[in-house]
Structure 1
Amino acid sequence: MKEKILTLKLLKDKYGVCRLDTTSSVPEWGEKGEFFSVTRTSDEMSIVCSEKNIPENIKCEKNWRILKIEGPLDFSLIGILASISSILAERKISIFAVSTYDTDYILIRDADVNNAVEALSEQKYNIV
C-alpha cells in the first residue's frame, strides 16, 4: 500500500462564493459558520461562506464543498496546490482555492466531490 502524503478534511457544509461591490462592508451573514473567507481588491469583494447564510439577492455561485489540507503547512513547502489541482484537472474537476497563513482550502463543486475524493485517494491523499 502507498504511504499517505497529506490529509485533507472534507467540511460538512455546502458553501457559496459571493461577489459584492468593493465599497461594501463585510456583511454579518458572511462571517457565520465553520469557515468563511473575505477578499477585497480594487475591483470587488469576494466572500466564501456557508450557503445557508447567503441572502437571495446576493450574486453568488453555490453548491461548493471544501477540502481542507490539514496543517499547519510550512511556507517552504512547494507544489501542494499544484499537485492537488493537477490530479483534479485530469478528472475535469474545477476548483476554487483559498489560502490562509497555516493551510489551503480547495473548493470543489458538490457534484464532483465523490470523484475528487476517489482521485485524490488513489494518489496517496488521506481524506477524512
Structure 2
Amino acid sequence: MTEQQFTIEQYPEQLAVVRLGPGAPIPAWAESSSIFSVTATAAETSVVCAARNVPKKVPHERSFTAFAVVGPLDFALTGVLVSLLTPLAEEEISVFTLSTYDTDWILVPKERAEKAAEAWRRRGHTVAPAVPA
C-alpha cells in the first residue's frame, strides 16, 4: 500500500493549551488568536489560543507550533493522522492534535517544530508556511 502524501502548512503564531474548569466561560483573552479551539467535557474545558495572551496564573502548556493538513479532507479518508504522527513518534516528538470539519491540526513543541517538518519531508509530505486567509 502506498502512503498518501499531504501538504502541511506551518503557522507562525505560538500557541498554548489552557485548562479551564468544567463549564468555564471562555475568557476574552483567549479569542484574539489566529487559531482558536475550545473542547469542553464534563471534567474540563480546554482552549487552544495564542500563547502571548495567557495569564501566568492559568494552568497551561506553551509554546506550541501549529501545523494544519491542507484540506478540506474527505471524511472517508483513513489513516491521515497515523501517516502524520508515526514519523513524529519515531523522532520522539510529542503532539497535541485536534480536528475541525475540514482538516486535522497537529501542535508540536516550538523547539521541535523544525524536526517535525524534516520528518514529514523525509516521508514525502510537503511542509510550507501557512498562507494568510
Shared fold, TM over 0.5: yes
Q: Quick check: 1:66 aligned with 2:63?
A: no
Once the two structures are superposed, residues 77-111 of structure 1 have per-residue CA deviations (whole angstroms, 9 ceiling, x without a partner) of 00010111111000001110010000010000011
Structure-1 separation of matches of 2:7 and 2:105: 12
- Contact residue 23 and residue 40 of structure 2 kept, 8 A: no
What is the RMSD of the two structures over their aligned residues, measured on CA atoms? 1.0
Q: Unpaired runs of 5+ in structure 1?
A: none
3-state DSSP of counterpart to 2:65: strand
3-state DSSP of counterpart to 1:57: coil
In structure 2, the residue matched to 1:48 is 48
3-state DSSP of counterpart to 1:12: strand
Once the two structures are TM-superposed, the CA of residue 114 in structure 1 deviates from its matched residue by 1.1
Q: Quick check: 1:13 aligned with 2:13?
A: yes
In structure 2, the residue matched to 1:106 is 106
3-state DSSP of counterpart to 2:68: strand
- The number of aligned residues is 125
Once the two structures are TM-superposed, the CA of residue 6 in structure 1 deviates from its matched residue by 1.0
Return structure 1 stretches of 4+ with deviation > 3 angstroms.
none
Q: Unpaired runs of 5+ in structure 2?
A: 129-133
Once the two structures are TM-superposed, the CA of residue 23 in structure 1 deviates from its matched residue by 2.4
Name the aligned partner's letter for residue 90 of structure 2: E
Structure-1 separation of matches of 2:37 and 2:12: 16
TM-score when scaled to structure 2? 0.91
